[in-house]
Amino acid sequence: MKNFLRTTAASALFAGLMAFGSSAQAQAQDVKTQSKGKGALVYKSAYQECISADLTGLKQCVNMTQATYVVTPSGNETSVWKGTVPVELRPANALVKDATWQENGKTYSSHSTTSPSGEVTVTLHYKANGKGKKG
């Protein structure tokens, strides 16, 4: 009887650990939003914002999703936004706009490309002066 109880308890413990391990692994796969590649922090998100016409060159802001945000150990930042322009705002020819954007005491250089099909990408880049110092 003791052996039966030990075997049953050990089996239950093993099954519980296996179930916990599987659920923990599944959760980890779903949450893969941050990784470190060559020392940089890469953050992928589904953050949405109406990106200003000042950055796109269009007549009004466009709803876009932040596809990637990267911060390097030196403090440089790159943020890539993607979206689709409403039909009434689409340019007849490719529209490219370079600009600057100030936010949180930092000045970002911006590059925007809008295609006639409506695909728009805005890349913001901040270059720090030295290791993590504001520029």
> How large is the C-alpha radius of gyration of the chain?
24
One domain for residues 68 and 112:
yes
pTM: 0.67
Cα distances (angstroms) measured from residue 31 to each of 34, 41, 69, 108: 8, 15, 16, 29
Please, which residues have CB within 8 angstroms of residue 78's CB and are 6 or more apart in sequence?
68, 69, 70, 123, 124, 125, 126
**Is residue 131 situated within a structural domain?**
no
**Total domains present in the chain:** 2
| Planar angle of CA 5, 10, 13, nearest 5 degrees | 125
The overall average pLDDT reported for the chain is 76
Looking at the structure, do residues 6 and 45 belong to the same domain, yes or no? no
Q: Are residues 15 and 45 located together in one domain of the fold?
A: no
Over range 43-72, report the average pLDDT.
92
Cα separation, 120 vs 108, whole angstroms: 18
Band of pLDDT at residue 38, cut at 50, 70 and 90: low
Please report where in the chains the tokens 């060159």 appear, as a residue.
57
- 133 in any annotated domain: no
Query: Are residue 27 and residue 93 in the same domain, yes or no?
Result: no
Residue type for position 75: G
Domain match, 41 and 26 both: no
Q: Which domain holds residue 76?
A: 34-126
10 Å CB burial of residue 51 (0-12, 13-18, 19+) is: buried
Count of Cβ atoms closer than 10 Å to residue 81 Cβ: 25
- Stretch 115-124: mean pLDDT: 97
